[in-house]
Structure 1
Amino acid sequence: MSEAIRRAGGLNSHPVAYSAEEDLLWGTMVSKLNAMHPRVASSRYLQAKNRLPLPADGAPRIDDLGQRLNNSTGFRLLPVDGLTPVADFYGRFAADIFSTALYLRCPSRPHYSPEPDMLHELVGHVVMLSDPLFADLYRLFGEATNNATCAQDLQAISQVFWFTMETGLVQEDGQAKAYGAALLSSTGELDKLGTYPVEKFSIQEMIESDYDISTYQGKLFIAQSVEEMASEVRSFLTHV
């Protein structure tokens, strides 16, 4: 077991007790997101939510959630304090490890968090990690990160991760539906979804586009299907 895992209390552990206020914040936001998701979330995400349901009455236990995720796709949860360096965050995917923050966003700004809090990690990423196709994509992001030989390649990987796994859209029944974690974990982002500039899926454009995690999105990319997105991402990650 690594030093990072020992400091965090071990994979899938639950070292945090949440206050009544934090449980209320979690429950309020999850209930609001649950009401929005059927209208704006991709079918893959909705299926994943049924596979790995999250409680709406208080913050979930990481050990229980981590075990259910592990039973689904083999991924495990590593609780961490603060932001994880990008190379470590992505790189651990190759070992079926997802580093999850355990703190909750500021109650005064519940609709969007500029930092990846527990709502973002669990509602967004962890739910999607219960889908075998997405779990495999995360693993490929991890392998590509660990194999990267220069900062330019790592930056390109990070750009593509942002515009797919964080803010990706897919066309379903003539509508844009979200599969990205940053969108699906933010009521503020989902409220504004129809107002964002949306461009055709393009890995090269993603690499060349700027983004700002501290505010709502300035540009999104949409794929014609999850299969198209997955094929393009796999091709990029195996050749980067």
Structure 2
Amino acid sequence: MSGLNSNPVAYSAEEDLLWGTMMSKLNAMHPRIAGSRYLQAKDRLPLPLTHAPRIDDLGQRLNNSTGFRLLPVDGLIPIGDFYGRFADDIFSTAMYLRCPSRPHYSPEPDMLHELVGHVVMLSDPLFADLYRLFGEATNNATSEQDLHAISQVFWFTMETGLVQEDGRAKAYGAALLSSSGELAKLGTCPVEKFSIQAMIESDFDISAYQGKLFAAQSVDEMASEVRSFLTRV
């Protein structure tokens, strides 16, 4: 683990090529499939198109935007630590890139997932505040049942959430926005009405494309429901 906003990894030409290839593909898909809040966030916190970003530069720009900082980490960390750090304005980001043989989807959170999905959206003040609330709720949780409920809701909102815009469901969740494979399959995945209770009771598999998604009528509806849940959990 390294200090906040530092960049402990030097990326190879092959990794830069993979980053550029996937950024090109995602940037071609986002205008049609991503929600408007995400598209505005991309303009606010643009990512390089041809090479993997420097975390120190990106972290400073994010910090200037909403106060969040980036903490590079090696490998997976306990989910309670990952969520809990949000309360201190810290987002822990993986530094490795997904396998080139499977570029359209990563079962583990790689740098493309972290930066394209989560970090871009963290430049939006509304979403930054929601992440903080997830962190506070995690730190205040008194049972495994509460932690499970928080994790479920985070998955079906911040990771795989959809919102109705322009007559169709559009993505704001990080796991969708960072995966060209997930975005390509959105039209065939069952979409249910936004429901916190249904999210808590639903199963999901991070190693495969999603089998169920939830769509809110608006970002405001989603934010209001999530805030209400996190303050009472």
Same fold (TM over 0.5): yes
Flag as ranges the 4+ runs of structure 1 deviating above 4 A. Answer: none
Equivalent pair of 2:153/2:199 in contact (CA under 8 Å): yes
RMSD (CA atoms): 0.3
Residue of structure 2 equivalent to 1:185 = 178
Q: Which amino acid aligns with 1:91?
A: G
Residue of structure 2 equivalent to 1:174 = 167
| Match for residue 205 of structure 2 among 197, 209, 212 | 212
Written as runs of structure 1 = structure 2, the 5 A alignment for 1:159-170 is 159-170=152-163
Cα distance, 1:84 vs structure 2 = 1.2
Q: Which amino acid aligns with 1:117?
A: D
Residue of structure 2 equivalent to 1:235 = 228
Q: Which amino acid aligns with 2:19?
A: W
Residue segments in structure 2 that go unaligned for 5+ positions in a row: none
Residue of structure 1 equivalent to 2:151 = 158
Residue of structure 1 equivalent to 2:119 = 126
Distance (whole Å) between structure 1 residues aligned to residue 177 and residue 2 of structure 2:
28
Q: Which amino acid aligns with 1:208?
A: E
| Match for residue 115 of structure 1 among 92, 108, 116 | 108
Q: Give the secondary-structure state (helix, strand or coil) at the position aligned to 1:229.
A: helix
Equivalent pair of 2:2/2:73 in contact (CA under 8 Å): no
Distance (whole Å) between structure 2 residues aligned to residue 97 and residue 136 of structure 1:
12
Q: Give me the identity figure in percent.
A: 88
Distance (whole Å) between structure 1 residues aligned to residue 2 and residue 217 of structure 2:
42
Residue of structure 2 equivalent to 1:3 = none
Count of equivalent residues: 233
Written as runs of structure 1 = structure 2, the 5 A alignment for 1:28-177 is 28-177=21-170
Distance (whole Å) between structure 1 residues aligned to residue 58 and residue 25 of structure 2:
21
Cα distance, 1:9 vs structure 2 = 2.3
Distance (whole Å) between structure 1 residues aligned to residue 195 and residue 230 of structure 2:
14
| Match for residue 17 of structure 1 among 1, 10, 24 | 10
Cα distance, 1:103 vs structure 2 = 0.1
Q: Give the secondary-structure state (helix, strand or coil) at the position aligned to 2:27.
A: helix
Q: Render the CA deviation track for 1:38-59: whole Å, top value 9, x for unaligned.
A: 0000000000000000001100
Cα distance, 1:125 vs structure 2 = 0.1
Distance (whole Å) between structure 1 residues aligned to residue 154 and residue 70 of structure 2:
19
Q: Render the CA deviation track for 1:35-79: whole Å, top value 9, x for unaligned.
A: 100000000000000000000110000000000000000000000
Q: Give the secondary-structure state (helix, strand or coil) at the position aligned to 1:126.
A: helix
Query: What's the TM-score once normalised by structure 1's chain length?
Result: 0.97
Distance (whole Å) between structure 1 residues aligned to residue 40 and residue 232 of structure 2:
31
Query: What's the TM-score once normalised by structure 2's chain length?
Result: 1.00
Q: Render the CA deviation track for 1:139-194: whole Å, top value 9, x for unaligned.
A: 00000000000000000000000000000000001011000000000000000000
